[in-house]
Chains A and B, each alone.
Chain A
């Protein structure tokens, strides 16, 4: 197996340029973030923050100061509202399962949107086995949640609502203020969670102003290291632990804190928020150049998700008819352009992305979709290079498709 992968890698030799756009699935960690992290492995604060020695106290100091930064950027009232976890998946599991455990005597109903990420969707599937029922609220063709159906779904037994402020796949910015108001008007006891992994450092989001109960954020989505994320839990909201073990500085997540990753998360946050407007403008410009460039150069190309202000500044998701997604990702990789496809091959048939299905895309459109996210580190030359690679790649794959599947 590894031999095959080595051969695949050799096939990429001599690339003129490489452009990494698969921020959805993992990110490049910029040098300045890595540099900030390095001293914490062997120079400073390598101790366990709960122990009574200098390296331990250093770790405690470092973790608190890093958490303070993150809590300021998110708009928390206190730094205790930030609960560090090993990532977005874990924070979403903690939010949903931890709330379900804490509220199980008050009700068994959970409400989510149809386009939540897998780490929300699959947790609700799992909770069904333990007697919790989930209602999925549909979205329109732009991915915006149906607020009327949300209102109707909330009753006295609804313990939890989870709606991402920005959709991870098609970049839809949800009317989260309105959704929150609707939910709280109908049942003030209902806990409102948002996966804000694609909102943090991308759109203005202040948890205190928003008066939200729980929010997930993730380090790698803002170009920090993988393996660290956080769940914001508003003071007074009760979430139970879902893992047991030695509790340290994080009351909702046992185990030894990973100080360098926490430092990296804080540093990545700092870099993203330092020039927030400038960074967002840069991403938005690159995003729009990619979208209009692709539509201008490739026939039968469609944008998935909304345009302009309703769309996250970094998200580009396009469908190409008569062009299978996996083949396209490989073809683009051989040209040094790294993207992901919306469909995943499971056993016999290709499963289209549940998000694309929910916004009404048909199978052909869903199978031929690719997802890209731009960052402030991308250059105009990168966009230019991608806009040359994509039309060629689509044309070659369509050449293999030929008349197959055309009625």
Chain B
């Protein structure tokens, strides 16, 4: 009895149609090829990096939303991921700003390790 009662729903576990998974997979492969190809075009370091990161973020979003069912899951799970990403950005951002600020005030030791004896 109990098994039947819980059998169908499984607490709202969402079933993703297979064609959606295939589409997502195809999109991920295409984006991977795209990101490799874009690198071969010189758009200036910053733009190249931005494009690479945007593509990576889109790919990550696809994986999260469809492979990981986040789009159909409880919103709180997305909030957790979002909060974590926010704190990662906070951590990276403030550390990078600071190191950039004091970079000119320090002598960066240049170590050459490749010399033979």
Asked if A and B bind, the verdict is: no
Q: CB within 8 Å of A: which residues of B?
A: none
Q: Which residues of A contact B (CB under 8 A)?
A: none
